[in-house]
């Protein structure tokens, strides 16, 4: 993922979860989260890799690896039916 210096809250959340060994809930959809019929995986994931590629002549890239984890919320297939998850 490309890192934007200004206000990248996703980068900050992923880094915080990685450093504190906490899990985050994700929803990976094939369309907009508000579009009825969009579908995809909903899962709580652990962040198992977080590294940065800092090229001198390019964008800062964060290499992040997520893996679904099992706990109170099991990974499931999700379909947007009401406009919001």
User: How far apart (Å, rounded) are the C-alpha atoms in residues 39 and 85?
Assistant: 10
Q: Which two tokens stand for residue 22?
A: 């906490």
Whether 1 contacts 60, CB under 8 Å? no
pTM comes to 0.75
Domain ranges of the chain: 9-79
Over residues 8-47, the pLDDT tens digits come to 788 889 989 999 999 999 999 999 988 999 999 999 999 9
């Amino acid at each position: 993922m490309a890192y934007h210096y200004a206000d990248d809250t996703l980068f900050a959340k992923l880094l915080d979860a990685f450093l504190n060994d906490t899990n985050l809930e994700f929803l990976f959809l094939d369309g907009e989260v508000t579009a009825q019929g969009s579908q995809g995986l909903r899962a709580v994931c652990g962040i198992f890799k977080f590294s940065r590629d800092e090229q001198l002549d390019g964008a800062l890239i964060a290499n992040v690896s997520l893996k679904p984890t099992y706990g109170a919320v099991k990974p499931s297939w999700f379909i947007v039916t009401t406009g919001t998850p």
